[in-house]
A and B are shown apart, each in its own frame.
Chain A
Amino acid sequence: MADHVLNTPVSEADIRALRVGDRVTLQSTLFGIRDATQIHMFDHGRRTKFDLRGHAVIHTAPNLRKVEPSPEHPAGYAPVCVGTTTSDRMERFTRPLMEREGVRIIIGKGGLREESLRAFAELGGCYLAVVGGAAALETTWIEQLEDVDLDDLNPESLYKFRIRDFGPLLVAMDSHGGSLYTEVNAKVAARRQAVLEKLGAAEGARP
């Protein structure tokens, strides 16, 4: 259960050093990405101007205030509230994000599935869990919205955030086949029978 501070972009070695249960705090840059962003990138063949190699993406669609572009708000948006959405919907984009764009870290809530875990192991990636629904706190880790791409998809554009002390985040899926979600799901499945019996609702019980 080690603590790590990672400056993005990261190397494969940085990722391979992480194990489930470790805690990570990120510095420098974080990209925001979501359903529509990835549907357009990978199903509709759109490309981003950003170089995502070695970077971290977070499953998000922020609340923003439109402002005049300025040194403080170069993208013409002030971040109001930046939080995290459920990752599971974006499961099928993990591999293309890593293979085509070179992403190494996915941040989200609720976890990803087996195919993502395989991609993390083969390509050197990981999933960091942030506490979902704690967006007011998460927003305090964002210094600036530096740039935006694919903004016709607003609020599901591709965002480039400057971050400071983003975390601590929990390594929930690592590049060695470890997944806290798989562990918890197995424990939960093992408890199901006893829970149903206590309810008088096990399979085969007289209804």
Chain B
Amino acid sequence: MTHVSRPNAEPLRIDPGAVEEAAKLLYIRACKILPDDIKQGFARLDADETDGTAKAILATMIENIGVAERMDNLLCQDTGIPIFNVLIGRNIALDGWDLKAAIARGTARATREAPLRSSVVHPITRKNEHTSCGERVPVINIDFTDRDRELRLEMIPKGSGSENGSFLQMLIPADGLAAVKRFVVDRVMQAGGKVCPPTIVGVGIGGTSDLCMHLAKMAATRPLGSRCADAEGAKLEAELSDAVNGLGIGPQGLGGDGTSFAVHVETAATHITMNPVAVNIQCHSARRASATFTPDGIVVGF
């Protein structure tokens, strides 16, 4: 095999053992340490909040972040459904089957060794294997990037209270963008306090039904401060963030200004007959952790 662009660069070989260790570490770390952008999001909402009850609730949430770090404990009891995003750069050598198995082994070990509550059951029998694993879980999303000899492993323990706030509607072109906006506002109202606000509201627009839902998940789990790459999507993010925070749902649905840290939008091209919109919500315990594999080693972050 000839690498035309980099004839002398050795591919970065990904060791399944290192992936297993990283998966275990990331699951535990994500459950304990909130990313800096989310902490800053709390500071911003707290500074802007005018409602007394909402202020007290935000103060408790901020206190909890400190308690979790000081006591090396979990931020939230819900260990979620484990999701791993694998972003594979160029010039990487790995065995995909080994990678999937390594992620599952790391997840099961985190569950046993931390220990974490296994929140994963068979969908029909409701049997819990106490490994946080099961058929098609951990959820593994694989994508490719243009980064040379870099593989990024992202871990998201997706809490169920907010995941139950997931909605899809196959709108039609005649419904227009107005119906898309209305759908987002109405679903945020429907979710109310059940999704543990303040939230990140993830909105998917376009694609197929399954892609649209996936876009909403990508949007909900993106760092605060990041913007939709599509200019129209980015414009909607600002409008919808302003809109949902005008509703007065507030932290925990008990009233106040801070309903959402942000509304994030992700878009995909769609069919001439289709106008799909999806909402997926991330709770205030917007947990993430990542490991970046490069020839220089592995860097752990958010």
Cα A109 to Cα B193 in complex, Å, equals 8
B185-A196 in contact (CB<8A): yes
Report B-chain residues with C-beta under 8 Å of the C-beta of A135.
64, 73-77
B132-160 interface code vs A (CB 8 A; 1 in, 0 out): 00000000000000000000000000011
Asked if A199 and B284 sit within 8 Å, CB to CB, the answer is no
Given the complex, which residues of B lie within 8 Å of A61, measured CB to CB? 77, 117, 119
Q: Chain A interface mostly helix, strand, loop or mixed?
A: mixed
Interface string of A89-132 (1 = CB under 8 A from B): 10000000000000000000111000000000000000001011
B106 CB-CB contact with A under 8 Å: no
Scan residues 175-207 of chain A and give those whose CB is less than 8 A from a CB of chain B.
Answer: 180-181, 183-185, 187-189, 191-192, 194-196, 198-203, 205-207
Is A48 close to B, CB under 8 A?
Answer: no
Contact B64 A133 (CB under 8 A): yes
Q: A188-B189, A201-B178 are in contact. Are A60 and B64 (CB under 8 A)?
A: no
CB-contact partner of A80 in B115, B126, B254, under 8 A: B115
Q: Determine the interface band of chain B, counting residues with CB < 8 A from chain A.
A: 35 or more
Chain A CB within 8 A of B268 CB: no
In the complex, A6 has a CB within 8 A of chain B: no
Cβ–Cβ contact A155 & B247, under 8 A: no
Interface string of B237-280 (1 = CB under 8 A from A): 00110110011111011110000000000000000000000000
Number of chain A interface residues as a range? 35 or more
Residue-wise, chain A 129-147 has the 8 Å CB interface mask toward B (1 for contact) of 1011111110110000000
Report B-chain residues with C-beta under 8 Å of the C-beta of A81: 73-74, 76-77, 117
Known: A109-B252, A110-B161, A180-B255. A133 touches B178 (CB 8 A): no
Most buried by A among B71, B77, B79, B252: B77
A201 touches B116 (CB 8 A): no
- Interface locus among A10-18, A49-57, A62-70, A158-166: A62-70
Q: Which residues of A contact B206 (CB under 8 A)?
A: none
Out of A66, A181, A198, name the residue touching B243 (CB < 8 Å). A198
Contact B250 A201, beta carbon cutoff 8 Å: no
Residues of B within 8 A of A110 (CB): 161, 192-196, 252-253
Contact of B248 among A134, A154, A188, A199 (CB under 8 A): A188
Chain A neighbourhood of B164, CB < 8 A: 86, 89
* Residue A37, interface by CB 8 Å: no
Question: Which chain A residue shows the least CB distance to B244?
Answer: A195
Contacts A60-B77, A81-B74; A184 near B67 (Cβ below 8 A): no
Interface set of B (CB-CB < 8 Å, partner A): 53, 57, 60-61, 63-64, 67-68, 71, 73-79, 114-119, 126, 128, 159-161, 164, 174-179, 181-182, 185-186, 189, 192-196, 239-240, 242-243, 246-250, 252-255, 283-285
Q: What would be 28 A-B contacts, judged by CB atoms less than 8 Å apart? A: A36-B126, A63-B77, A63-B117, A64-B117, A80-B114, A80-B115, A81-B77, A83-B74, A86-B164, A109-B161, A110-B195, A131-B60, A131-B61, A132-B161, A133-B159, A133-B283, A134-B64, A136-B73, A184-B250, A184-B254, A188-B189, A191-B246, A194-B246, A195-B246, A199-B181, A199-B182, A201-B182, A207-B179
